[in-house]
Amino acid sequence: MSVEYSKQARSSAANPLDAGSFPLSPIVAGAWRMAEWGWTPQQRLRWIEQAVELGVTSFDHADIYGNYGVEELFGDALALRPALRNQLQLVDKCGIKLVSQRRPAHRIKSYDTSREHIVASVEASLRALRTDRLDLLLIHRPDALMDAAEVADTFATLKQQGKVLRFGVSNFMPWQFELLDAAMSAHGEHLTTNQIELHPLQVQPLHDGTLDQAQRLALRPMIWSPLAGGRLMAPSPTDEAARRVHEVLRHLAEAHHVTATTIAIAWLLRHPARPVPITGSRRIDTLRDAVAALGVSLDRESWYALWQAGRGHEVP
């Protein structure tokens, strides 16, 4: 797809994440690790409620999280207070097949973006989450065998049925994004977001065109592992790069009178593509620190100091 196509096709289409019709909260809570928390349904409900009280109303899922178990843990909690559903936005993913006792037909780990798999996955997610709709469905990883026309057609059907309201991708390179987006335009639809990994130890999307594309299309990228899975906050003694970043985070946190977590999230929010970070912590305090980042603006040198700490050298 040419740049020209994108300009024309996109110019008339407002970005759904910016529109009042479908706002994700500016900070999203990730459910990936929920199975590790060992909580009761009441504790999980309390966690969801406390997040909502902070303004974190969007929750990130995938069919495979917790060995295909997290959606059900979340759904069981939601069943204690079903009316809460209407205050939430549920983001979900499909397309990865894990070898699991819960999926005995899978013989090897593989990717599957066939119509059959996407539909079966969405049906299973809706049942487990105890909801009638997903607010946003993402293809979890690029599938080398992806037939873009088939995926776009499947998405259009799911939307017509009211089972999925919006669509996006995760871990896609710009040209993979454009392939599927172009196929969706035939149905009058567009991809909403690309969910990617970004933090000072993973700066590739800043330099490989991913965030340039997001900015050009006014897409707000969702950011996974914003604290590098905890590496930035509790670096091991041998993790030199994480220790360097942690030191700069602490220094900036002192200067801004906030926590290091707040600075790490503020570093992401500083990007003009207006990223939407997904926290992964079980602790409500961490969510509170992430929300606090919405009120912190890092100056350019502070931003580059973290870039430099992550890379281990100054900019060229």
Ligand X SMILES: NC(=O)c1ccc[n+]([C@@H]2O[C@H](COP(=O)([O-])OP(=O)(O)OC[C@H]3O[C@@H](n4cnc5c(N)ncnc54)[C@H](OP(=O)(O)O)[C@@H]3O)[C@@H](O)[C@H]2O)c1
CA distances, 45 to each of 18, 75, 120, 176, 281 (Å): 28, 9, 27, 37, 15
Whichever of 225 and 302 has its CB closer to ligand X, that residue is 225
102's tokens: 């819960």
10's tokens: 């996109």
Which sequence positions are flagged as catalytic? 65
Whichever of 65 and 307 has its CB closer to ligand X, that residue is 65
**To the nearest whole angstrom, how small is the minimum distance from the Cβ of residue 34 to ligand X?**
8
The binding site for ligand X (CB under 6 A) comprises 30-33, 60, 170-171, 195, 224-230, 233-234, 278-283, 286
- What is d(CA 285, CA 63) in angstroms, rounded to the nearest whole number? 27
The three-class DSSP label of residue 223 is strand
Cα 30-274-146 angle, rounded to 5 deg: 65
Crossing angle of helices 70-78 and 115-129, rounded to 10°: 40
**To the nearest whole angstrom, how small is the minimum distance from the Cβ of residue 37 to ligand X?**
7
Query: Looking at beta carbons, which residue is closest to ligand X?
Result: 280
Whichever of 121 and 195 has its CB closer to ligand X, that residue is 195
**To the nearest whole angstrom, how small is the minimum distance from the Cβ of residue 199 to ligand X?**
7
Whichever of 134 and 227 has its CB closer to ligand X, that residue is 227
> Strand (E) positions, the chain?
28-30, 58-60, 89-94, 96-97, 110-111, 136-139, 167-170, 194-197, 222-224, 276-279
Q: Which amino acid is at 268?
A: L
**To the nearest whole angstrom, how small is the minimum distance from the Cβ of residue 62 to ligand X?**
7
